[in-house]
């Protein structure tokens, strides 16, 4: 009997230690659960905040585009331009003669008309305007000594439109020009109608980034416009699409 009681006395503390261990583990689990739930709640709040922010930005974008559409009602109604999500398209025949980078009077007048609405649009958006020049795939005519190839022609056309927009009030820090030559056609180059669509300048809004072209880049494109081997970018500001 004494031996049995002695064994019980030795065994008792083991169960007490085990109970303490289980209590500690349970407490740790509860704390971990509370921590995880806190993270989930915080993530939920962050996600909801981001969703609300995106919705507000989208509503603002739609409102600004509607205002831009109203401001451009006359040229839109006449079919001289198109407007899609802030992108303006202008018939190429309005802007330039074939194989030329000199604005025609009608094209210059139209750019004057769209400059003020574009400036107002940019004042309320964290965006730049990119003016991009494109050509068809036909080589430059032999008698044309102004341009070495389609890269140079598309660059000079983009620069011409960019300068016209700046001259009519768009801040030069918000516009840049890009040249793509015969690349990225929007129609087949197998017929005259398709080639006419591909000879164009596009003006499109793009987000502001730290990598935006600098004034040095702008000057570099200007000096290289007549000897351009590949796609080129120049600094200024623009938004939309133009066909020549």
86 in helix, strand or coil? coil
The CATH architecture to which 73-243 belongs is 2-Layer Sandwich (3.30)
**Cα gap 172→157, rounded to integer Å:** 17
Residues of the chain with confidence (pLDDT) below 70: 1-18, 210-244
Question: What's the whole-model pTM score?
Answer: 0.65
118 Cβ partners below 8 Å, 6+ apart?
A: 68, 88, 129, 165, 170, 203, 238, 239, 240
Structure tokens at 146: 């102004």
Q: What residue segments make up the domains of the chain, in order of their start?
A: 1-71, 73-243
pLDDT of 45-88, one tens digit each? Answer: 888 888 888 888 788 778 777 877 888 888 888 888 878 777 78
């Amino acid at each position: 009997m004494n031996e049995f009681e002695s064994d019980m006395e030795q065994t008792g503390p083991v169960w007490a230690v085990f109970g303490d261990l289980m209590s500690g583990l349970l407490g740790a689990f509860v704390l971990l659960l509370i921590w995880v739930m806190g993270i989930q709640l915080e993530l939920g709040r962050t996600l909801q905040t981001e969703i609300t922010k995106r919705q507000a930005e989208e509503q603002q974008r739609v409102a600004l585009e509607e205002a831009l559409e109203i401001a451009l009602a006359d040229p839109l109604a006449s079919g001289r331009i198109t407007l899609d999500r802030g992108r303006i398209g202008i018939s190429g025949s309005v802007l330039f003669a074939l194989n030329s980078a000199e604005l025609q009077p009608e094209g210059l007048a139209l750019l004057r008309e769209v400059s003020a609405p574009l400036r107002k649009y940019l004042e309320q958006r964290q965006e730049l305007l990119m003016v991009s020049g494109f050509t068809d795939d036909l080589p430059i005519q032999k008698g044309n000594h102004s341009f070495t190839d389609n890269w140079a022609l598309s660059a000079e056309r983009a620069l011409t439109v960019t300068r016209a927009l700046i001259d009519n009030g768009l801040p030069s820090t918000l516009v840049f020009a890009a040249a793509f030559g015969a690349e990225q056609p929007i129609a087949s180059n197998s017929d005259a109608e398709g080639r006419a669509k591909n000879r164009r300048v596009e003006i499109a809004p793009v987000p502001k980034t730290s990598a935006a072209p600098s004034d040095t880049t702008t000057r570099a494109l200007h000096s290289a416009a007549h000897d351009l081997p590949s796609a080129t970018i120049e600094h200024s500001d623009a938004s939309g699409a133009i066909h020549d």
